[in-house]
């Protein structure tokens, strides 16, 4: 993973939340929140909370007596999340998922939406989740399936790569969609100490009101932006337009929809 893959700063958090939140993250956030509700968890830790998309879903799904601690390593993302001012009592705290500042056995559930792919040491991150879980607690998280199973992302990546044939930006394929081997995920969870692991592969439909929305979201609201600007800072708009044109050619010029697919994992302490 490149060093810039974890840099979400400047205008990226707002664009990420506006364009990619409804497009690809909210359906899986609702799924995770329902799973947390169904197991009756009272005290919940969220790691890699990002702009708070899962946090808000948890707040809607859980009773007011529940306690949510939402953490992220990236302070600009966490600041954007906290600014939504949810009426639900959420504790926002900067924390590294690989070195959590919480006592052993202090949570009923640990939740992580599309964050494990960014852990530089997956086993260490999983071991920390297990450490802070109470006996019988659950670690619920999801990761994207391979990029070919996620149509908008695949089209955008291919279109932008064509502009830089000698050194194509590969963030989306490398990191968000680079951790999809379920056998490897099982092995790493077992190495961390989890005895029971269930994995479901769930397909959803991603919908956008305009073919331009995914282009802006992926090109300007993710670390792909840093990759493009590192190659030629003057070509960000060109890359965005190339992605938009490719999306329109594939899906049409009106509201569009495409397949997204992810693995949802439940590991028991």
In the DSSP assignment, the letter for residue 99 is: B
> What are the pLDDT digits (tens) for 18-32?
999 999 999 999 999
- Asked if 263 and 143 touch (Cβ cutoff 8 Å), the reply is yes
Q: What length does the chain have?
A: 269
Model confidence pTM above 0.75: yes
Tokens 């409804």 belong to 22
> What are the pLDDT digits (tens) for 195-241?
999 999 999 999 999 999 999 999 999 999 999 999 999 999 999 99
Q: All domains of the chain, ordered by start, with CATH?
A: 3-268 (3.40.50.150)
CA distances from 36 to 32, 40, 136 (A): 6, 7, 13
d(CA 218, CA 212): 10
- The DSSP bridge partners found for residue 201 are 263
CA distances from 266 to 92, 130, 165, 223 (A): 24, 12, 40, 28
Q: State the alpha helices, DSSP H only, in 16-52.
A: 26-38
pLDDT tens digits in sequence order for the chain, 269 residues long: 666 656 677 889 899 999 999 999 999 999 999 999 999 999 999 999 999 999 999 999 999 899 999 999 999 999 999 998 667 889 999 999 999 999 999 999 999 999 999 999 999 999 999 999 999 999 999 999 999 999 999 999 999 999 999 999 999 999 999 999 999 999 999 999 999 999 999 999 999 999 999 999 999 999 999 999 999 999 999 999 999 999 999 999 999 999 999 999 999 99
- Asked if 51 and 74 touch (Cβ cutoff 8 Å), the reply is no
Q: How many Cα atoms are found within 13 Å in the side-chain-facing hemisphere of 66?
A: 28
**Which of 11, 25, 23, 76 is closest to 55 using CA atoms?**
25
**Which of 71, 182, 199 is closest to 125 using CA atoms?**
71
Burial class (CB in 10 A: 0-12, 13-18, 19+), 199: middle
């Amino acid at each position: 993973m490149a060093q810039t893959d974890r840099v979400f700063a400047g205008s990226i958090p707002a664009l990420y939340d506006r364009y990619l939140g409804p497009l690809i993250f909210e359906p899986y956030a609702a799924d995770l929140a329902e799973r947390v509700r169904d197991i009756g968890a009272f005290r919940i830790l969220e790691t890699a909370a990002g702009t708070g998309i899962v946090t808000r879903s948890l707040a809607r799904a859980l009773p007011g007596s529940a306690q949510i601690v939402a953490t992220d390593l990236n302070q600009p993302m966490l600041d954007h999340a906290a600014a939504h001012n949810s009426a639900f009592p959420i504790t926002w705290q900067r924390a590294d998922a690989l070195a959590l500042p919480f006592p052993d056995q202090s949570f009923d559930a640990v939740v992580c939406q599309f964050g494990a792919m960014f852990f530089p040491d997956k086993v260490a991150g999983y071991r920390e989740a297990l450490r802070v879980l109470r006996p019988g607690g659950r670690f619920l998280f999801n990761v994207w399936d391979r990029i070919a199973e996620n149509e908008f992302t695949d089209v955008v990546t291919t279109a932008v790569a064509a502009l830089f044939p000698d050194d194509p930006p590969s963030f989306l394929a490398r990191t968000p969609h680079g951790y999809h081997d379920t056998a490897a995920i099982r092995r790493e969870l077992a190495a961390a100490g989890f005895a029971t692991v269930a994995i479901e592969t769930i397909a959803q439909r991603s919908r956008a009101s305009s073919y331009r929305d995914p282009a802006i979201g992926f090109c300007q609201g993710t670390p792909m932006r840093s990759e493009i600007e590192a190659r030629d800072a003057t070509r960000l708009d060109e890359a965005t337009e190339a992605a938009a044109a490719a999306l329109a050619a594939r899906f049409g010029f009106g509201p569009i929809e495409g397949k997204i697919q992810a693995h949802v994992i439940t590991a028991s302490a």
